Amino acid sequence: MRVRTTGRGAEPASASGPLTHARIGVLMGGRSAERDISLRTGRAVHQALLRKGYDAVALDADERVVEQLHEHKVELVFLALHGPGGEDGAIQGLLETLGIPYTGSGIRASAIAMHKGVTKTLLQWAHIPVPGGLVVVRDRPLPKRVPAHLALPLVVKPASQGSTIGVTIVRKPSQWMEALERALEHDTDAIVETYIPGREVTVSVLSGTVLPAVEILAPGGFYDFSAKYQKGQTEYRCPAPLASPLVRRLADWARRSYELIGCEGAARVDFRITPRGKPYVLEINTTPGMTETSLLPMAAARAGMDYDTLTERILASALSRAERMKALER
């Protein structure tokens, strides 16, 4: 594999050209409920890599994914997969077995961050605030009523899905069972947690660098699938208009969460902030969306990084992994 590096590892390309001349496979699609969003992310990433002069091919990650990787002689993978099978360590494990370096977080970090309950347990251990709640397992008797120690409203969601798929805000006891059943249609585990009123803010981290925070003002106050992916549905403020001490706290907790989970490349940490200014971490996304309405490119743009450059910076995480893999072979 031909990789341009420095003593500190792979760096963004300059006038000297692309970071690598290796064949890059952009893996997208897959079989999760987020397939359509993954295709949009993957196509945009593929075009960005081509504009930057890379030898890149777009691949739909179906049951022939191993054959496709071999047929196209892929040497590096840019992961544009969302949801189970793409963000949970499964494809990462396959690529490690094949010896193909890939972008983003590794097997362990991907698996931890994908399950919101496991993520919350680790964050609590590190004294990073998360909403209180519990995990309901599909194969066990479901609680027929709202647990006595939890007060409405509550958020009920699948433990390992993104894009607010299967999420319900339970405001009345009569909504409880339907919300559980809806979440468990998408996962074996459901997360039940206290609804945090207030503002929604997300902070992206790129290879350890914290990008400007983005505030999300969704119609009706709920950042659902439509609000996320339909242009004009939601208002965004970047940088988020927050007091400087709160900005620093969010940046610190985002970086600490990223490091605690063991993330690499790009990741996004989602927060809710109460009207009194107390933030809570909701979840960590290890393969943030890269569509025209996605939050990571928005934050990067505010930091002076255009879409193509951001894509190349994420690609650099695969090159760093390639160097580590080579070192282990020596």
Instruction: Catalogue the active-site residues.
Output: 34, 163, 229, 268, 270, 283, 285, 289
CA 132 to chain centre: 22
- What is the phi/psi pair of residue 119, to 5°? -60, -45
As a whole number of angstroms, the distance between CA 97 and CA 241 comes to 45
- What is the phi/psi pair of residue 127, to 5°? 65, 30
User: Virtual CA dihedral for 8, 13, 14, 18, nearest 10 degrees?
Assistant: 130
Strands 266-273 and 235-237: unpaired
Phi-psi region of 23 (alpha: psi -120 to 50; beta: other; left: phi over 0): beta
Name the E strands within the chain.
5-6, 9-10, 24-28, 56-60, 76-79, 133-137, 154-158, 168-170, 189-194, 199-206, 209-210, 214-217, 235-237, 266-273, 279-285
Q: Which residues contact 162 (CB under 8 A, 6 or more apart)?
A: 34, 82, 83, 87, 285
158-169 core/surface letters (b: 16 or more CB in 10 A; e: else): bbbbbbbbbbbb
